[in-house]
Amino acid sequence: MRQSRLFSSVAVIPALVVILIFFLLPIAVILVRSFTDPEPGLGQYAAALADPTTLRVLGRTFATALIAVLACIALGYPFAYLMTLVGPTARALLMVLVLVPFWTSLMARTFAWISLLQRDGPVSAILAFFGAENVTLRGTLAGVVIAIVQILLPYMILTLYTALAAIDRRQLAAAQSLGANRFRAFWQVYLPQSLPGLFAASSLVFILALGFYITPQLIGSPKEAMIAQVIGQRVEKIVDFAGAGALSGILLIATIGLFCIAILAVGPLRRGIAQIVPGGSR
């Protein structure tokens, strides 16, 4: 047992070294530079927070990520739940559908969405069929959200499916045998148990959505830029590594703060949902 634990501890060392060198070290260098360039202090952070444009970009970025998470939940939860209900063959087919997007690169999918969302594209044709004529989603935040949701939806489904498959479905049958209807059994028994998995999937999608660069750069408008684009412009156009580091630091701190609040809210939310009886009675 001790040898097994020792081997496991030693086996993770290469991964830790890679993470340290290629992830933590660059972040540390950028953050240190944001505090020391051009002079030590919080000047870069104060300047960033005092800029209304920066605050608007941060708000737009978090709002876009949140909308993407909600859309992925609305589409991904039923799909993942369906995967737990069907047989092995149908589940394998559904899994293939989820994995197909990973067979193409992010750049290829983004260019595909450029064609789909342009004024004369298929999406505009569908909208025109329903009466919304002369609508183009390319160059809009809505188009960016649609593309982000399509790209991140597999992450939501795969993470959710892992969590939902671990829930013992016999509990639903037990709840129904005690007088609960299907919806009430799902609401009070199944849904609360799925919240940790839902939180993990939402966290993954939210973090990935915050860092999107290529998709909003190619599909969106410069007037509706996201924070990754602004950071890239700081580095590429004006070579302001300190300013880019300050923006990264603000994004990091804000994200950690939001996740701390979300973690604290998961427990009470889980208990609250379990106590709510559909129909208004308790």
For the chain, the structural domain boundaries read 1-36, 52-275
Amino acid symbol at 221: S
Distance CA 77, CA 75 (A): 6
Tokens of 239: 């070579």
pLDDT at position 221: 85
Cα atoms in the Cβ-side hemisphere of radius 13 Å centred on 56: 6
Tokens of 46: 């104060």
User: Is 211:228 a contact under the CB 8 Å cutoff?
Assistant: yes
> H or E stretch including 272?
helix 241-275
Q: Which CATH superfamily is domain 52-275 in?
A: MetI-like (1.10.3720.10)
Q: Residues with Cβ < 8 Å from 56, sequence gap 6 or more?
A: none
pLDDT at position 176: 81
Residue-wise pLDDT tens for the chain (282 aa)?
555 566 566 777 887 888 778 778 888 888 888 888 778 878 888 888 888 988 999 999 999 999 999 999 999 999 999 999 999 999 999 999 999 988 888 888 888 888 888 877 787 778 777 777 777 788 888 899 999 999 999 999 999 999 999 888 888 888 888 877 888 888 888 888 888 899 889 999 999 999 888 899 989 888 888 988 888 888 888 878 888 888 888 888 888 888 888 888 776 766 665 565 554 444
pLDDT at position 3: 57
Tokens of 20: 């340290």
Backbone angles phi, psi at 85, to 5 degrees: -95, -35
pLDDT at position 98: 92
User: Is 55:132 a contact under the CB 8 Å cutoff?
Assistant: no
Q: Residues with Cβ < 8 Å from 258, sequence gap 6 or more?
A: 62
17, with CB counted inside 10 A (0-12, 13-18, 19+), is: exposed
